[in-house]
Structure 1
Amino acid sequence: MDADQERVANPFGMDEDCQQCPELCETRSQVVHGYGDVSAEFVVVGAAPGPGADRTGVPFTGDERGEAVLDVLGRLGFTDAPPTATEPDLDNVYLTYLTRCRHPDRAATDEEVRNCEGYLSAELRMINPEIIVPVGERVLSALAYEYTTKPADAFDIAADHATTIRGRGFELVPMRDPAGQSESERTAFLEHFSSLLERDYRQTKGRRSR
């Protein structure tokens, strides 16, 4: 699987008519695969498309929860686009989800998450990021189980928000769901992530061969 370097929406050409989850096929508007810089050092992972992303086809766009994440990325210098942008220009960051289809009335089942594992693992393998930002408890548990040496129940999004967790080959920096974040929690995340950026990741990834 090779990335289309000129394409920011679904740059790995993943199945846009996936039929693995029958219930989600009935409720989704479209499959929402990853979006952004395929040479990124940073990947942001949400649980599933919200109503905005289901409409736009771009992760973390079109609704209040997604716009809160884009606002944080803008404050950190990953985009000059306003939080309301539906096709933001992104620098050194890639946005994606555990599950690629929206159900308006419930969270994804464990089986639906497993059905999408191949999409996320392929993106992470191809991008090879330095830092992954799991947004919310469900994503933290899934990534912790898959990519750390500790059991998933050893982590808690409230306690681990705006901290760094060592993973296998990269670090996790959990973010509490924007819908439940306080202003102090948002400030804490911005301050912690800004300190990580001082390591100057941006001078290396884009120049190395893949």
Structure 2
Amino acid sequence: MDADQRDLANPFGMDTDCRNCPALAECRERVVHGYGDVGGEFLVLGESPSAGAEATGVPFTGDAAGRRLQSLLGELGLSRSPPDADEPELQNVFCTYLTRCRHPERAATDEEVRACEPFLNAEVRMINPEIILPVGQRALEALAVAYTTRSPESFDVATEHATTIRGRGFELVPAKPFAEQTEAETDALREHLLENVLARDYRQTKGRRER
């Protein structure tokens, strides 16, 4: 963790009363911004907060899917907390979403995703991760537009789950939504990260800042 980081929750002080999407602002419980180590070399990107994450205010917590990811982060040495922690002690990883507000009855619209792009772009720019784990098809397609040479339509998260895709300045390791993964798929993701990412020098020669 960067020495000057004071808080894992919303460390960049992003707007917690954002009202750019009126339909979401009227029904949300809270805005769920990114959480984790601002010096992290790993970034986990989901589509939008689950009911559990909205309740805790922390991405990928508060439900079974969150516990599955947090357990994985612990096994990778990226978390010092038990999987059911509402505020996990993360190191070298940052978790965030395409959209920061949850609608209880539907997915975010394309317009709502675009409204949140400045938040995500700022986080990616300031964190400058080496590895991004897009969780779900929508997160994978969103990254494809800006950070790969492939068209979004060429990606399928189910077939590219637990593989590595070269991006512009970092690598992508796609993952199916944790609520939909079988135990075998979670095992495959863990093994890929341990054997094909963490076991080698994944850092790219792009002028990483000194830590």
TM-score by length of 1: 0.93
What CA deviation, in whole Å up to 9, does each residue of 1:162-187 have, x standing for no partner? 00001110000001111211121111
Find the residue that maps to 1:45 and give its secondary structure.
strand
Matches within 5 A, 1:137-148: 137-148=137-148
Partner residue of 2:18? 18
Per the TM alignment, residue 93 of structure 1 is displaced from its structure 2 partner at its CA by: 0.3
Question: Aligned pairs, how many?
Answer: 205
Partner residue of 2:172? 172
RMSD: 1.8
Partner residue of 1:209? 210
Find the residue that maps to 1:139 and give its secondary structure.
helix
Per the TM alignment, residue 30 of structure 1 is displaced from its structure 2 partner at its CA by: 0.7
Percent identity between matched residues is: 62
Matches within 5 A, 1:31-180: 31-180=31-180
Distance in 2 between residues matched to 1:98 and 1:118, nearest whole Å: 10
Q: 1:144 to 1:41 in 2, by over 3 A?
A: same
What CA deviation, in whole Å up to 9, does each residue of 1:147-167 have, x standing for no partner? 111100111011110000011
- Which one-letter code corresponds to 1:126 in the other structure? M
Per the TM alignment, residue 121 of structure 1 is displaced from its structure 2 partner at its CA by: 0.6
- Which one-letter code corresponds to 1:149 in the other structure? T
- Cα pair 1:41 1:131 within 8 Å, conserved: yes
Distance in 1 between residues matched to 2:182 and 2:97, nearest whole Å: 23
Where does structure 1 differ by over 4 angstroms across 4 or more consecutive aligned residues? none
Q: 1:208 to 1:142 in 2, by over 3 A?
A: closer
- Which one-letter code corresponds to 1:114 in the other structure? R
TM-score by length of 2: 0.92
- Which one-letter code corresponds to 2:47 in the other structure? A
Distance in 2 between residues matched to 1:57 and 1:201, nearest whole Å: 31
Distance in 1 between residues matched to 2:202 and 2:166, nearest whole Å: 17
Per the TM alignment, residue 208 of structure 1 is displaced from its structure 2 partner at its CA by: 3.9
Find the residue that maps to 1:178 and give its secondary structure.
coil
Runs of 5+ unmatched residues, structure 1: none
- Cα pair 1:50 1:102 within 8 Å, conserved: yes
Distance in 1 between residues matched to 2:4 and 2:51, nearest whole Å: 27
Per the TM alignment, residue 123 of structure 1 is displaced from its structure 2 partner at its CA by: 0.2
